[in-house]
Structure 1
Amino acid sequence: MSLRVRGWPIYYKDILRVKDPDHHVGVCSLWTERQVVEKLVSGTRYNLIGNLYSAQGINAMIRNIFANPSIRTVVLWGAEMSLSGHSLLMLMKEGVDEARRIKNGRGEIEEEIPLPVVDQFRKVVEVVDLRGRDRDFLVATLRQLDKVKKPPFARKPKLFPKSEPKTTMFPSESVGFRVSGTKVAKTWLKLLNEIYKYGKPKHTRYSRDNSIREILNLTAVVTDEDPEKIYFPSYLPFSETELIAYYAELLTDRQIPGVAYNYGRRLRRELGVDQIAKMKELVKKRPASKKMAAFTADVKKDWGAVHKGDTPCLTQILGSIFEKRFYMTAHFRSQDMVHGWPRNAFALRKLQKEIADATGYRMGPLTVITHSAHIYGDDFLLVENLLMDHYEKELGFSPAVHFTFDPRGNVVIEIVSMKEALQFHEYSKRYEKGAVPFAVSQTLKRLPKRGRNSGKLIRATLFAPDGGAPLKIFEGRTAQEVAYQIADWGYLSDPAHAMYVGQELQRAEEAIVRGGRYHQDPA
């Protein structure tokens, strides 16, 4: 009689490599590809092979093991790149704290898994740590464990309620999102906010509950991160030591055994040309060139692995010299925006500085364009907590100062007389052939026909950023008449700035209607 739940594994069923579901040994390959490990241990007996990309995946491991109590041993082997293996070992050794977080590790145990079950898991399951050991040692260990007979730890399987984060999806444009920030971490919070609010649910084989929230074609711009003195707040999902170790993935051509691809190797060696070196040469010889491009695609190899392996998420890197600075743009076909994006962005900024320094230019902004920008279901709660705890703080506002700088300029608003008009007479010629907009015509009825405030206009002057020169003048009799001129032609890009300008236009209109004075308030 089978002890496991029908249809087991209940999580990650479509990607786990199951061999003998009644065997007591499971292999956790961390970040090393499952199919690679499967080939390496093909002559041994075991239950299944699966990855553990993040500590949150431990919840799925517990659920799968209690759904099949035959599993008594977990062999930990493979590339450790996110402390997921360390966190599993810490769970077994230290347990969890009052908030259900793994002590001295990462991740937390879902509240649907009772704490007595966690204690039972720690007692009945043995974790064998083989990280850093070679393939022969892994094979020898599996053969030795096969000789050990361990009975199931329970007479029947046990299931737990599904963890369902409460999320709400708002309607959106679905494609073509943009965020920007001075630092990688601050930009990261902004893009998580976009995906958390507007990401659409989608199936994936990589998430424990087979769901993600996804938006398409997200552009994220980082303007001022210094790669030598990075802003590294504690809320980032990895340590600075891990980040330094990750830099080699992009900045060198090293090969990691068992890992499907390495960006640095693809860019510098594997495709037969050091594309980064070529970019540096081109910048020096022809700084106006539009051919500063490096690609990661090995088309034949990657299409051959599209159904059975991983292909590079980073597809290309583009460079440009603009305003005597080196601008860089990176394109990704797909990104885990929680754990992958910040690592990628820090490393790309490092690469940008390498090229800029080698060619004698200062760095411009870094732009990262992601086709599939997604958050995995395993991380919904993490993202919710990150945004609640840090998003507003990182905007940097205070009770005295609550505004952002619009890169398209600043607007000064004033009330002038009709005889002082600089632009309205030309603008109003459109009414000779077309009707006055309804919203404007309704407000015109409220304006004074005589007296001191009759014949007044609202003037909005757009100035270049940072105290620059005047760029354009907009004039109208009502707030709406001026707002149409600004909004219809897209003169402002920051929503908060546009709302502020709208408020001030309305205040100016009310001053005209009521016969009062108007002075523009600071933002």
Structure 2
Amino acid sequence: MTVTGQVTQFHYQAQHKPNQLIYGHGQTAVITGWTVKQAIAKHLQPEDYAVIGQLYSPTRGINLLIRNLLLNPHVRYLVVLNATKEDKNAGAGECLLDFFRNGVEESVSDTGRRAWVIRSAIPGYIDIEIDINMLEKLRHSVEYKEVKSIESAVSVVKSYAELESIYPWGTPVEFTMSIVEPTVLPGPRYGHRIEGKTIAETWVKIIHRIKTTGTIRPTGYDGQWQELIDLMAIVTDEPAEFYFPEPNYLPIDRPFLEEYVSQILDDAPYREGLKYTYGQRLRSWFERDQIDQVIQKLIGEIDAASAVMNLWDVKDHEKGGSPCLNHIWLRVVDNELSLTATLRSNDMFAAWPANAMGLVALQRHIRDEIFKRSEYDLRMGPLITVSQSAHIYDDTWSNAEQLIKQQYATICRKIDYHDPAGNFLVEIAENEIVVTQTTPGSGEVVGCYSGKDALKLVREICAASPSIRADHAGYLGMELERAMKCLKTGAKYIQDSK
């Protein structure tokens, strides 16, 4: 704290996410939620506020925010902007306010760790390492105010700035913070494929793949993420009403999904402080309704390969705030409508399930509109997402590991033996091992392999059918090894016999 003439200037110092904040010299912290922080800062002078920052998630952001406030006891006022649908859906602002209103109680977090749980209908956690007495002192030392618009936020901040400076409520306090360092196994860096019947199943497989072999890299947000590059996820059979497991381990629920789907399907007027919605980009951003365009395109040419929607604006390079979802492609093959979406950057833990369900809702909307406007009655095909940077942020690593521990083994036990590469019939004939490959549906013979060496046969089969499932290749290896032993000993070989 410094005194210049009659003006007291405070200096906010953040231990966590320091590069994500706008710093001032006052005593008011401004939480903007999903509204970009610059939309508030441009109406204020640095002397009016201590810090301005965004808060997206109650489970990921409040803990760090509280730690920063404990390091800066000169902050005596808190303004929380709850202005958008995204704020309502996320609930971060409401949960933060509940911390100041209601306090915390000792319980466990969503990862099973002991934590201070905020007394709120919205889950929010604070590290148990933080002294409860300091949390209580913070709660009772900071005056808080909820506002619903940028104008109200600016007005309240200015009114606080007109008050005489108050002495800090205590001395800066920092508490140790445990860090989870993941174990990374070797694996390819580029190009990955994961398939599941439902979004929930596919999501668990995605999280397992990233946590197992993803590369750890620094992010532009004062942290780290674990990342795979170019991850293709295929969802084949998502139910019409969407599948939510019971108990629900997804990071979203049905009420959130209803709000989120409207952000993809519906246009939205421009609002100061909001970057865009996907629906706005699809419906009006380029002065064309791209959703209607692809519907008309496919009705006029059902086999078209050019039913494309684009969300990337070349101006995004200049002004920032570019959308994560860049490109959507619809295609009809064998009376089945598929949707492929390209995302340049994808938070696979917190965002991908909502992204995927929103895209399926868009896919279904287009399918239904084609049916209403034409004679085409199309089946719902797969959803394919290509996430060019598929990552998990470090503040969700513990959650990801808990998810894998609780769900991955169960999902792996639900084995579907269908392999698009076909079936392989193994037998011994004319003193050789003979493997016949047939199509998975009609049983048409498409390949034949023979020899006496099991390893050479497996390598030959995998080279000829590179898309064979890994577990199928492993099964073949075991069967061929057993056939090779029977061939050497003269014992009778029957496939799949014990």
Question: Where on the TM-score scale, by shorter chain, does this alignment land: which range?
Answer: 0.7 to 0.9
CA distance in 1, matches of 2:47, 2:173: 28
Q: Gaps (5+ residues) in structure 2?
A: 3-7, 109-114, 371-375
In structure 1, which of residues 216, 235, 239 is the aligned counterpart of residue 249 of structure 2?
A: 235
Q: Verify the 8 A CA contact 2:103 2:136 in the aligned structure 1.
A: no
CA distance in 2, matches of 1:228, 1:507: 46
Deviations 1:274-301 (A, max 9, x none): 111111111011112221111012212x
- How far off its partner does 1:115 sit? 4.2
SS of the aligned residue for 1:160 comes to coil
CA distance in 1, matches of 2:164, 2:360: 51
CA distance in 2, matches of 1:62, 1:462: 62
CA distance in 2, matches of 1:457, 1:117: 77
Q: Verify the 8 A CA contact 1:5 1:67 in the aligned structure 2.
A: no
Q: Which structure 2 residues correspond to residues 360-375 of structure 1 after superposition, within 5 A?
A: 360=376, 361-375=378-392
Q: Verify the 8 A CA contact 1:15 1:205 in the aligned structure 2.
A: no
Tell me which protein shows more strand as a share of its residues. 2
Deviations 1:370-411 (A, max 9, x none): 1111111111111111111112223343xxxx5643222222
* Aligned residue number for residue 382 of structure 1: 399
Q: Which structure 2 residues correspond to residues 260-271 of structure 1 after superposition, within 5 A?
A: 260-271=275-286
Q: Residue 145 and residue 7 in structure 1: after superposition, are their counterparts in 2 closer, same or farther (change >3 A)?
A: closer
**Structure 1 residue 83 and structure 2 residue 91: aligned?**
yes
**Structure 1 residue 405 and structure 2 residue 405: aligned?**
no
Instruction: Write the letter of the residue equivalent to 1:85.
Output: G
Q: Verify the 8 A CA contact 2:229 2:388 in the aligned structure 1.
A: yes
Q: Verify the 8 A CA contact 1:91 1:105 in the aligned structure 2.
A: no
* Aligned residue number for residue 58 of structure 1: 62
**Structure 1 residue 497 and structure 2 residue 469: aligned?**
no
Structure whose alpha-carbon radius of gyration is higher: 1
CA distance in 2, matches of 1:7, 1:134: 25
Q: Verify the 8 A CA contact 2:12 2:51 in the aligned structure 1.
A: no
Q: Verify the 8 A CA contact 2:226 2:392 in the aligned structure 1.
A: yes
* Aligned residue number for residue 77 of structure 2: 73
**Percent identity for Structure 1 against Structure 2:** 30
- How far off its partner does 1:471 sit? 2.7
SS of the aligned residue for 1:493 comes to coil
CA distance in 1, matches of 2:477, 2:335: 36
Instruction: Write the letter of the residue equivalent to 1:350.
Output: A
- How far off its partner does 1:473 sit? 2.0
In structure 1, which of residues 485, 489, 494 is the aligned counterpart of residue 460 of structure 2?
A: 485
Instruction: Write the letter of the residue equivalent to 1:67.
Output: L
In structure 1, which of residues 132, 142, 151 is the aligned counterpart of residue 167 of structure 2?
A: 151
SS of the aligned residue for 1:98 comes to strand
Q: Which structure 2 residues correspond to residues 465-476 of structure 1 after superposition, within 5 A?
A: 465-466=440-441, 468-476=443-451
**Structure 1 residue 303 and structure 2 residue 356: aligned?**
no
- How far off its partner does 1:148 sit? 6.3
* Aligned residue number for residue 250 of structure 1: 264
- How far off its partner does 1:94 sit? 4.6
Instruction: Write the letter of the residue equivalent to 1:39.
Output: K
Q: Which moved more, 1:226-235 or 1:256-265?
A: 226-235
Instruction: Write the letter of the residue equivalent to 2:231.
Output: L
- How far off its partner does 1:364 sit? 1.0
CA distance in 1, matches of 2:360, 2:294: 16
Work out the number of aligned pairs and report it.
Answer: 470
Q: Verify the 8 A CA contact 2:339 2:383 in the aligned structure 1.
A: yes
Q: Which structure 2 residues correspond to residues 387-466 of structure 1 after superposition, within 5 A?
A: 387-397=404-414, 402=415, 404-416=417-429, 418=430, 456-466=431-441
**Structure 1 residue 175 and structure 2 residue 190: aligned?**
yes
**Structure 1 residue 292 and structure 2 residue 301: aligned?**
no
- How far off its partner does 1:39 sit? 2.2
CA distance in 1, matches of 2:300, 2:139: 62
Deviations 1:186-222 (A, max 9, x none): 111111111112221222233xx52111111111111
Q: Verify the 8 A CA contact 2:12 2:24 in the aligned structure 1.
A: no
Q: Residue 24 and residue 409 in structure 1: after superposition, are their counterparts in 2 closer, same or farther (change >3 A)?
A: same
Q: Verify the 8 A CA contact 2:129 2:175 in the aligned structure 1.
A: yes
* Aligned residue number for residue 452 of structure 1: none
CA distance in 2, matches of 1:475, 1:203: 51
Q: Verify the 8 A CA contact 1:261 1:311 in the aligned structure 2.
A: no
**Structure 1 residue 9 and structure 2 residue 14: aligned?**
yes
SS of the aligned residue for 1:180 comes to strand
SS of the aligned residue for 1:270 comes to coil
Deviations 1:438-469 (A, max 9, x none): xxxxxxxxxxxxxxxxxx22222223225733
TM-score by length of 2: 0.88
SS of the aligned residue for 1:351 comes to helix
TM-score by length of 1: 0.84
Deviations 1:259-281 (A, max 9, x none): 20111111111101111111111
